[in-house]
Chains A and B, each alone.
Chain A
C-alpha cells in the first residue's frame, strides 16, 4: 500500500440542455423581472478604452444547420492586454471593460452577436506574446462538455504568424478555423467568426 492522494474528483459535466436561457439569460427568454439584468449582457462601458468592434457568427452542426439554442460566452483582455479579474496580478485592468460577455444564438436565425473592444496582447507561459484573441465557451443541447476555443483576428497576420498557441497546430491549415474575418461597414468594425462542430472545416477546440 502507498499513501493516498487527498484529492477530490471534478464533478462530471452534463449538457446545458435546450433551456439554458432560462437560467443564463432569463430576460432574453421572456422571464422578465427576476433579475435586473442578464449577466454578461453589456461588456463595454462608455469610457472604456479601445477600438469598438462587433463579433458575429453562427454555430453550425455536422449538417451545416445553425444551432438556435446555444449559449456563447467570451472572455478577453482589455485594450492594454489586462484581464478584469481578481486573478490578474500584472496590473489593473480598465474598470470600464468587463472582459466577459454572454449571448444566446438567436432563436430564429441562430446568429450570435457581441459588442466589445479589440483586446491587446497577453503573454504565453514562456513570456512571449500570444496574438490578440478572445476565448470562447459554447454550450447547447447535445454538447456534453462545454467547448473551449479561441478567436483570432484576420488583420493581425504578423502576430498570428508568431503566436505560440497557433504554432501548436500540427495541421496548420486548421488555424483558419480560428481566425475571424474583419469587415468595415459604414465605420462599424465587424468580425465574423463561425463555429463548426463537425465537418471538413471543424473548428479547433481546446483542452485547456
Chain B
C-alpha cells in the first residue's frame, strides 16, 4: 500500500508544551489560544524540492567546511543516523541541517556573550541530503556546554541543533541532539521541557564504538523520527491525489 495519504496526528503531549515556565523566554512567546485543528490539505502534504545543486562537497564536514589554517580544536566525532517516519521507513532525499557551538561551547554569533573563545577554523553549520534509505552523516567536533541567561547558573548540556524537512511541510521539525551519559541533560530547563523521560531519551545520541574512525573520530548515532503517513486506501479525498 502506498503511503501518500495524510500524516498521523502530532501527539502534542509527547512534545514540550508551548509554555515551560522554567525556560523564561517561553512565557511571552507561547500562544495562549487553542490551535485550530485542520486535517491535512495539499498545502501541508507537499514540501520543497532539494535540487542537486544545493549541497556543496564539504557541507556535511564541519571539520573542513570553515577551516582556514588547520582543522578545529576538539574531540572529533562522526555523527550519523537515519531519518525515519513513524512507520519505520527511511525518509530519502530530504534536507538535514545542523548547527552547534565549538568545542569550548562558543557559538559564532554576534549576540553570544560567553567568554570562551571562537575557534578560527570552526563555523558551526552543516547540511546534507539523506540517501535512498534515509541515512545521513556529518563529521564535526563535540560541542562544549555553555552558560546562558535564564537563571543565574543555567548551563546548556552539550548539544547539536537539527532541522528536518521530511517530504512534506507537515513533517517540518527542529530539535536538539544530546550526548549519551551527560548528567546536565536532566538539569536543563529546555531539555526537561519534554514531559516524558522516554521521549527525552529519544533526543540522546548513542556512543557507537563500532563506527569510530581509527586514530581519528568517535561516533554517535542519532536517528530522527518524523510523522508517519496513512495509506491511501483508508483515505476519502477528492482534492485530486
Interface size on B, residues (CB 8 A): 93
**Contacts of B184-213 to chain A: CB distance below 8 A:** 190-191, 193-194, 199-200, 202-203
Residues of B within 8 A of A205 (CB): 31, 33, 35-36
Decide if A15 touches B190 in the complex (CB within 8 Å).
yes
Decide if A142 touches B23 in the complex (CB within 8 Å).
yes
Decide if B99 touches A73 in the complex (CB within 8 Å).
no
Residues of B within 8 A of A20 (CB): 99, 161, 163, 174
For residue A106, CB closer than 8 A to chain B, the reply is: no
Decide if B46 touches A8 in the complex (CB within 8 Å).
no
Interface on B for A, CB 8 Å cutoff? Answer: 4, 8-12, 14-18, 20, 23, 25-33, 35-49, 54, 56, 58-59, 65-66, 84-88, 93, 95, 97-99, 107-112, 123-127, 161, 163, 167-170, 172-176, 190-191, 193-194, 199-200, 202-203, 224-228, 237-241
Decide if A168 touches B38 in the complex (CB within 8 Å).
yes
Decide if A16 touches B174 in the complex (CB within 8 Å).
yes
- Which of A13, A34, A202 is within 8 Å of B125, CB to CB? A34
Query: With A15-B190, A16-B174, A207-B37 given, can you name 13 additional A-B contacts, CB distance below 8 Å?
Result: A11-B175, A20-B174, A23-B163, A31-B108, A34-B66, A75-B169, A87-B167, A88-B42, A90-B240, A124-B239, A139-B174, A143-B30, A198-B30
Interface on A for B, CB 8 Å cutoff? Answer: 6-24, 26, 29-31, 33-36, 39-40, 61-63, 65, 67, 69, 73, 75, 77, 83-90, 98-100, 107, 122-127, 130, 133, 135, 137, 139-148, 150, 165, 168-169, 174, 197-198, 202-208
* 3 tightest Cβ-Cβ pairs between the two chains A and B: A23-B99, A142-B25, A100-B48
Decide if A11 touches B36 in the complex (CB within 8 Å).
no
Q: How far is the CB of A43 from chain B (nearest CB, A)?
A: 10
Residues of A within 8 A of B43 (CB): 75, 77, 83, 122, 130, 133, 135, 150
Interface pairs (13), CB distance under 8 Å:
A10-B227, A14-B161, A16-B174, A21-B109, A23-B163, A73-B172, A75-B169, A85-B48, A98-B48, A123-B240, A127-B240, A174-B33, A202-B31
